[in-house]
Amino acid sequence: MIIVMHAATDQQIKQVIEELRCLGIEGHIIECFDRTIITAEGEELQQNRQHFNGLPGVESVLFITTPYKLVSRQFRAQTSVISVRNAAFGSTSIPIIAGPCAIESYEQLYETAAAVKKAGACILRAGTYKPRTSPYSFQGLEREGLGILQAVSRELDIPVVSEVTDPRLVEVFCQSVDILQIGARNMQNFALLKEVAQSNKPVLLKRGPASTIEEWLLAAEYVLAGGNSQIVLCERGIRTFEPYTRNTLDLNAMALAKELSHLPVIVDPSHGTGQWSLVGPMSKAAIAAGADGLVIEVHPCPAKALSDGPQSLTPKRFASLMDELRLLANVSNRQI
């Protein structure tokens, strides 16, 4: 159960907690969406629902049937809009995030960023701590890369998102990026989720390659329950029996997550397919199916990329895809 309190005094919150305790129930206090939320489990609470509803400061007592509570649409019917400067996820606009998989040099990032911005991307993506399957693969420029990212972001006046892989790095990332990305492999790194929950930065939470939709939403619940309600979910493909594509892009999951949760859901057709020629078709499918945004990998010379070249678009291909996506968005009265 969730007890929602609005403009409640400390005394009123204390009263609810104490009354719960009298029933042998431990209440947990969370501040989110301008409300004080008390989460509590127990049959006695269900039986005394009316009583708690009438306590001073209590706005409502909700019985939420899903294991994730604050993330659920049962908790909040309207879609949450997550704003990052001029971009708004969960609105009628469709923010497009684009950039290289990894930062390789200042010149490579600047050239890509200038091109994707010109083509209409409103957020730059670029990895600097890369979670690679092999320890012998390029691991990213790490701290040096963060400096480059910050410089390019300032010079081109474009917000940036980058993956934070370690709880100890969250503080330094908060000083350098506009959105903290939690990568697919770290979706259930609970120490990392708790750390980003304590930051005031929006979080882009990718779905794990072998995670169920419920596990994904519960990972988002960690961030919300920890005090950060600025979450954008990202479907990026899951591992299936199919070896012809890197992953299987699960557009079901995008559409269903939007039904189950009030959080905006975007799609990453680059990792979802692993093949640049499929990025266009899957971008269009995602937008037609109602995605709240896209993440697309772009590299000035994909053949020479140090990571994810095969799934990266050239700036030219990205610009022509953007033209097509704009038309598609307009059909459903949305804008890119």
Chain residues in the site for ligand PEP (CB under 6 A)? 101, 127, 131, 163, 183-185, 206, 236, 268, 271
Residue 180 makes contact with Mn ion by CB under 5 A: no
Residue 308 makes contact with Mn ion by CB under 5 A: yes
CA distance 144 to 79: 37
**Is the four-CA dihedral 61, 65, 70, 71 of positive or negative sign?**
negative
Q: Name the residue nearer to ligand PEP (CB basis): 238 or 336.
A: 238
Residue 25: CB minimum distance to ligand PEP, A: 38
Neighbouring residues of 79: CB distance < 8 A, sequence distance ≥ 6: 90, 258, 262, 263, 264, 292
Residue 111: CB minimum distance to Mn ion, A: 18
CA distance 300 to 148: 17
**By the 8 A CB rule, do 254 and 288 touch?**
no
**By the 8 A CB rule, do 164 and 170 touch?**
yes
Residue 7: CB minimum distance to ligand PEP, A: 40
Strand pairing report for 82-84 and 87-89: antiparallel
Q: Name the residue nearer to ligand PEP (CB basis): 35 or 185.
A: 185
Residue 305 makes contact with Mn ion by CB under 5 A: no
**Is the four-CA dihedral 279, 285, 287, 289 of positive or negative sign?**
negative
Q: Name the residue nearer to ligand PEP (CB basis): 101 or 177.
A: 101
| Span of 9-17, 78-86, 131-139, 306-314 interacting with Mn ion by CB under 5 A | 306-314
Q: Name the residue nearer to ligand PEP (CB basis): 31 or 166.
A: 166
- Given 5, 58, 71, 101, the residue binding Mn ion (CB under 5 A): 101
Residue 181: CB minimum distance to ligand PEP, A: 6
